[in-house]
Amino acid sequence: MFNRISSILLIIFLVAGTVSIGIAAGKAGGNARKGKYLYRKNCRECHKEGASAKDLSPADKTQAEWETLFAKGAHKSYQCAAEWDKRSEKDLKDIFSYMYDHAFDSPSPAKCK
C-alpha cells in the first residue's frame, strides 16, 4: 500500500513537474513551427469546420487550457487517444508549443485563418 501511495505521488509529482517545466521554459520548449505542420497534417483533418471533431485552432483556447489538455496522460480520455499514442514525445511537445504560443491569450494569438 505504501508503494501504491508513493507511486501515485510520484505520478502526480511527475505530471506537475512536466507541466511546470513547460511553463518555466517560457515558450513551451518545442518547435512550434514543426508543431503547426504536425497539427495540420495529423489533427486538422478532423478538427476543422464540417468534419468529425470540433474546429480547433490555437486561438480557440487559453494557454492554461492548452497546458491542461496536453498534460501527460490527459489524452487517454480523448476520442482520438489512439492518434495521440501514435505521436512521439517530441511531436507532442512541438504540437503543444504551436498551440501554446498562439493561444487565445498569447502574445501572438493565431488569426482566424
Partner 1 sequence: MMSGIVKRPISRRNFLKLSGAATAGAVVGSRSGILHALVPKSSVAKQGRIDKRFSICDMCFNKCGLIARVDEHGVVTKLDPNPKFRKSRGMLCARGNAGIKQLYDPDRLKYPLLRKGERGQGKWQRLTWEQALDLAAEKMQRIAETYTRCGMLFMAGSDLQSTFVHHFAEVFGSYNVISHESNCLLSRNRAFLDTFGEVPFADLLNCKYVIMAGANRFEALVTPDSIDIVTAMQNGCKLVVLDPRYTKTAALAHEWHSIRPGTDMAFFLAIAHVLVSETLYNKAFITEKTSGFDKLAEHIKPYTPEWAEKECEIPSKDIRRIAREMAKAAPAAIVYPGRRSSDYKNSTQIRRSFAIVNALLGNWDKKGGLTVAGKVGLSSPELPEAPFYEDNPEERVDAGRAKMMFDEEGSFKHTRDAVIEGKPYPIKGWFTYKTNPMQTGANREKTVEMIRKLDFMVTVDIAMSDTAWMADLVLPAPSYLERKDPISALQGVSAGACVITRDPVVPAMFDSKPVNWIVSELAKRLDLGEFFDFTMDSYRKAQVKNLPDAMKAINKDGVYYNKSKLYGRYEGKVFKTLSKKIELFSQRYEQTGLDPIPVYTPPKSVPEGRFRIVVGRNAYITQGSSTNNELLAELVPENRLWLHPDPALKLGIRQGDTVEVASTVGKERLKVRITEEIRKDTVYMDSGFGAMSKGLSNVYGKGACIAAVLEDHSDDISGNMAMHETMVAVRKI
Instruction: Kindly state the smallest distance separating residue 69's Cβ from partner 1, in Å.
Output: 17
Kindly tell me the burial class for residue 28, based on how many C-beta atoms sit within 10 Å of its own C-beta (0-12, 13-18, 19 or more).
Answer: buried
**Is residue 41 involved in binding partner 1 (CB under 8 A)?**
yes
Closest CA to 18 of 74, 99, 79: 74
Per-residue binding string, partner 1, 47-86, x by CB under 8 A, is: --x---------x--xx-----------------------
**Is residue 46 involved in binding partner 1 (CB under 8 A)?**
no
**Whole-Å CA distances, 38 to 3, 62, 85, 98:** 39, 20, 14, 9
Closest CA to 32 of 88, 83, 102, 85: 102
Please say which residue, 3 or 26, places its beta carbon nearer to partner 1: 26
Q: Give contact residues for partner 1 (rule: CB under 8 A).
A: 31, 33-34, 37-38, 40-41, 44, 49, 59, 62-63, 101-102, 104-105, 107-109, 111-113
